[in-house]
């Protein structure tokens, strides 16, 4: 048995959903460990496309157990809508889907607070997904959050809700000049949510532990990406959770010694949604070309993603802070018509060449990317399943990236579908 952690190695949307779906074939249990419905993980099965936000991307395999760990923040309405969508597609979740009783809840006032805060930041706004993620994690750390387990104690739930509303309505009124929220409609909605969620609520750390004892492979699914991690990302232009590999241990409840393999998902170029520095970003026609070929629009919000060349400084940094054992390279096919293909190998800062990613935002913002050029292969790689079948120049590009990020590729993806994958080696071994 092995425990495998899948993380995003750039700014999210690397193709984690596709990779997790494929790796679920051999897993006994798939677990989401952080983030919330800010994530949008796409899985393509034959003609159908599924976008998962909270539920692990393994759920489309009919028999597999899936769970949402304590590190995730859950908006009950969003979760229930997602379950309904999956059940409408004739997939049964009964007895194989669980949520942690210690996961925190996203409450209606979190949405109001986030809206107010983003508006007040003006040009300096983070460009969040508007899902209430930041305020929910703020409450968690401030020890005033409501947790899934609180739903099972209605009196306590009501007491905590009223206390939080009293506090936050003052902020909402005075700072953001919005209407205060009333407790009654929230309480009524949460009674309905609780009835629906009750059968899913569990001690998920124990479920993971039991699966480990049974000798199953455990697949831990990260959301967002390393550069959006609250500690290791481009703060403050980050999300509010631990998207790096360490988040799997705290977000699910097992020790670091249990992790056998950390797999980073790496897009063959770079994208980012929302504000913040992005050294290898391109503009104009190139940006448009990436967006149209790569379909680079947010899976959650539909916002256009900012696009740029592969940034080896970023991914080398991700390899370090996550301790990547291997990586899955995705969207190689999107580069089929680009020639030449620049690769960012370092940054120049005030005349000095940097090969390590600067975590100081004021330095990062002043960095100029240093590129080397790879020749394009200008022929289709879509759907190829053997490394040797790739055009020589595509093979050279892949090998060069491996060199630069000091991490081998265990998978190479050549299209959105399950079958469009080169399996170099098995990350569970
Ligand atoms: P995630 O958030 O990391 O799961 O990634 P998203 O689902 O937000 O975005 C990745 C997009 O790329 C989705 O539309 C996938 O269907 C698509 N995709 C994944 N792998 C490949 C690939 O190898 N080639 C192409 N062309 N598309 C891919
Ligand atoms: P997946 O899992 C890309 C970005 C937002 C914003 C910042 C903070 O699909 O890769 P938040 O709503 O989390 O407070 O927003 O983080 N962001 C993502 N970008 N992919 C995601 O998820 C993201 N989740 C959040 O755009 O810049
Ligand atoms: Mg996504």
CATH number of the domain residue 144 falls in? 1.10.300.10
**pTM of the shown model:** 0.97
- Marked catalytic residue, from 21, 37, 41, 336: 41
Q: 421 CA to middle of ligand 1, Å?
A: 12
Do both 270 and 392 map to the same domain? yes
Distance 37 CA to ligand 3 centre (A): 10
Q: Report if residue 429 sits inside a domain.
A: no
User: For a substitution probing ligand 1, which of 10, 11, 16, 18 has the most ligand atoms within 8 Å of its CB?
Assistant: 18
Given 166, 200, 234, which residue is the final one in a domain? 200
Residue 310, burial from CB neighbour count under 10 angstroms (0-12, 13-18, 19+): buried
53 and 74 belong to one structural domain: yes
- Same domain? 47 vs 75: yes
Q: Give the pLDDT confidence score for residue 392 in this predicted structure.
A: 98
pLDDT at 86: 95
Give the DSSP letter of residue 253. Answer: T
Domain containing 191 equals 104-200
235 and 310 together in one domain: yes
Q: CB of 41 closer than 6 A to ligand 1? A: yes
Residue 350 lies in a domain: yes
In this structure, the answer to whether residues 194 and 146 fall within a common structural domain is yes
Q: Which of 7, 15, 223, 327, when mutated, tests ligand 1's pocket best, judged by the most ligand atoms within 8 Å of its CB? A: 15
**386 and 302 within one domain:** yes
Asked, for residue 370, whether it belongs to a domain, the answer is yes
Boundary residue ending a domain (155, 185, 200): 200
Spell out the per-residue pLDDT of the chain, length 429, in tens: 999 999 999 999 999 999 999 999 999 999 999 999 999 999 999 989 999 999 999 999 998 999 999 999 999 999 999 999 999 999 999 999 999 999 999 999 999 999 999 999 988 899 999 999 999 999 999 999 999 999 999 999 999 999 999 999 999 999 999 999 999 999 999 999 999 999 999 999 999 999 999 999 999 999 999 999 999 999 999 999 999 999 999 999 999 999 999 999 999 999 999 999 999 999 999 999 999 999 999 888 899 999 999 999 999 999 999 999 999 999 999 999 999 999 999 999 999 999 899 999 999 999 999 999 999 999 999 999 999 999 999 999 999 999 999 999 999 999 999 999 999 999 999
* 13 included as an active-site residue: yes
Sequence-ordered list of residues with C-beta below 8 angstroms from that of 136, at least 6 positions apart, any chain? 36, 73, 104, 105, 106, 107, 110, 145, 240
DSSP symbols for 327-359: EEEE-GGGGTT-SSEEEEEEEEETTEEE-SPP-
- Tokens for 26? 């051999």
Q: Are residues 170 and 272 in the same domain?
A: no
Residue 221 shares a structural domain with residue 171: no
Asked if residue 121 belongs to a domain, the reply is: yes
135 and 78 in a single domain? The answer is: no
Is the link from the previous residue into 340 a cis peptide, with omega within 30 of 0? yes
What local confidence, expressed as pLDDT, does residue 300 receive?
Answer: 84
User: For position 301, what pLDDT does the model report?
Assistant: 86
Expressed in angstroms and rounded, the spacing between residue 100 Cα and the centre of ligand 2 is: 22
- Nearest residue by C-alpha to atom 6 in ligand 2: 128
**Which ligand 2 atom minimizes the distance to the CA of 130?**
12
Rounded-to-integer distance, Cα 215 and Cα 75, Å: 32
* CATH of residue 316: 3.90.170.10
Distance 118 CA to ligand 1 centre (A): 28
Q: Are 43 and 76 in contact (CB under 8 A)?
A: no
Examine residue 52 and state whether it is found in any structural domain, yes or no: yes
Does a structural domain hold residue 354? yes
| Domains: count for the chain | 2
Residue 428 lies in a domain: no
Q: State the pLDDT at residue 144.
A: 97
Same-domain check for residues 276 and 387:
yes
Residue 69 pLDDT: 98
**CB 293 less than 6 A from any atom of ligand 1:** no
Q: Which of 174, 200, 226 is where one domain is finished? A: 200
> How many angstroms is it from 8 CA to the middle of ligand 2?
11
Q: Is the CB of 413 under 6 A from ligand 1?
A: yes
In a domain, 237, yes or no: yes
Residue of 13, 21, 75, 139 marked active site: 13
State whether the beta carbon of 126 lies less than 6 angstroms from ligand 2: yes
Q: What pLDDT is attached to residue 91?
A: 94
CB of 32 sitting under 6 A from ligand 1: no
Asked if residue 326 lies in contact with residue 427, where contact means CB atoms within 8 angstroms, the answer is yes
Check whether residue 20 and residue 162 sit in a common domain.
no
Whether 278 and 364 share a structural domain: yes
Atom number in ligand 2 closest to CA 40: 9
At 138 the pLDDT is 98
């Amino acid at each position: 048995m092995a425990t495998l952690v899948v993380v995003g190695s750039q700014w999210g949307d690397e193709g984690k959903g596709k990779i997790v779906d494929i790796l679920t074939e051999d897993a006994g249990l798939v677990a989401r460990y952080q983030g919330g419905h800010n994530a949008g993980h796409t899985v393509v099965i034959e003609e159908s496309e599924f976008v998962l936000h909270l539920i692990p991307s393994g759920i489309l395999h009919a028999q597999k157990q899936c769970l949402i760990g304590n590190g995730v923040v859950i908006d009950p309405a969003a979760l229930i809508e997602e379950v309904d969508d999956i059940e409408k597609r004739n997939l049964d979740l009964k007895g194989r889907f669980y949520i942690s009783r210690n996961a925190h809840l996203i409450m209606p006032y979190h949405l109001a607070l986030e809206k107010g805060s983003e508006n007040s930041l003006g040009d300096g706004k983070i460009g969040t997904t508007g899902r209430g993620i930041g305020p929910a994690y703020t409450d968690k750390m401030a020890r005033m959050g409501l947790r899934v387990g609180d739903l099972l104690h209605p009196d306590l739930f009501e007491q905590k809700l009223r206390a939080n509303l009293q506090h936050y309505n003052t902020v909402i009124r005075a700072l953001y000049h919005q209407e205060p929220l009333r407790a009654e409609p929230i309480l009524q909605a949460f009674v309905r949510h609780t009835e629906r969620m009750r059968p899913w609520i569990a001690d998920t750390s124990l479920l993971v532990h039991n699966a480990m004892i049974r000798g199953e492979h455990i697949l831990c699914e990260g959301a967002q990406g390393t550069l959006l991690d609250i500690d290791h990302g481009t703060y403050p232009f980050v999300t509010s959770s631990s998207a790096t590999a360490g988040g799997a241990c705290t977000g699910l409840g097992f020790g670091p010694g249990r992790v056998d393999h950390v797999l980073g998902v790496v897009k063959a170029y770079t994208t980012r949604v929302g504000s913040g520095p992005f050294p290898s970003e391109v503009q104009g026609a190139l940006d448009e070309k990436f967006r149209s070929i790569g379909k680079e629009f947010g899976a959650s919000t539909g916002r256009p993603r900012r696009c740029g060349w592969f940034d080896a400084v970023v991914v080398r940094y991700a390899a370090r802070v996550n301790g990547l054992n291997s990586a899955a390279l995705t969207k190689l096919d999107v580069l089929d018509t680009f020639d030449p293909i620049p690769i960012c190998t370092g940054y120049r800062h005030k005349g000095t060449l940097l090969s390590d990613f600067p975590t100081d935002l004021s330095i990062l913002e002043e960095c100029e990317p240093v590129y080397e050029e790879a020749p394009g292969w200008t022929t289709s790689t879509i759907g190829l399943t053997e490394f040797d079948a790739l055009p020589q120049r595509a093979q050279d590009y892949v090998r060069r990236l491996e060199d630069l990020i000091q991490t081998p590729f265990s998978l190479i993806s050549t299209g959105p579908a399950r079958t469009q994958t080169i399996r170099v080696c098995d990350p569970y071994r």
